[in-house]
Amino acid sequence: MEPLTEQEIRVAFVNCTKGEARRLSVPRDLADRPWEDLDFLGWRDPQAPDRAYLVAELDGRPSGLVLRSSAPVFGQTRRSMCSICLTSHTGGVSLMVAPRAGKAGKQGDSVGAYICGDLCCSLYVRGRKDAGAGARLHETITLEEKIRRTVGNLGAFITKVTA
């Protein structure tokens, strides 16, 4: 994806108030992020472990989501799969819940998805980050197709939040 500035990130959020978007913590190392290998920028809030954020390009413009996430479960031995990039982790997948945009969200309506707890889906898909043996399905499709599928899954999630 194209590199984003802090300002572009703040105005991209679709499911929180303008005030929240102004205050939330945006990574300080934006210049060092591996943008060319990212399908979306995702990060956890260093000040609030139950908060995470992601920004993806949807229909040519950045869309950002505020997410609430369960704390990682330590000692969990069961594998679970990220619904965005289809990587399996032992204890490394979090249920991320996004308040829906607009009136529905204000009434408490939300959409949830199981997502890699570190939000590094793009890097797992490209083999730049390793989640251990058996984490990735053996598939015959190309990397390009895997990336397209990841982007499609994420787009569907964002669309559910904004619908």
In the complex, which residues of this chain contact Zn ion (CB under 5 A)? 82, 84-85, 87, 116, 121
R_g over Cα of the chain? 15
Q: Which two tokens stand for residue 144?
A: 């390009």
> What are the contacts of 135-143 at 24+ separation with CB within 8 A?
135/87, 135/88, 135/89, 136/86, 136/87, 136/88, 137/86
Which lies closer to Zn ion via its Cβ, residue 121 or residue 158?
A: 121
Quick one: tokens of 17? 């108030």
Answer whether 40's CB lies under 8 Å from 55's CB: yes
66/82 with CB nearer Zn ion: 82
- Report, in Å, the least distance between residue 23 CB and Zn ion: 27
**Closer residue to Zn ion, CB minimum distance, 67 or 82:** 82
The CB-of-107 to Zn ion minimum distance in angstroms stands at: 29
CB of 123 to Zn ion, least distance (A): 9
Q: What is the number of helices (H) and of strands (E) in the chain?
A: 5, 7
Q: Name which of 54 and 82 has its Cβ closer to Zn ion.
A: 82
Q: How far is the CB of 104 from Zn ion (least distance, A)?
A: 26
Reduced to 3 states, what is the DSSP secondary structure of residue 123? Answer: helix
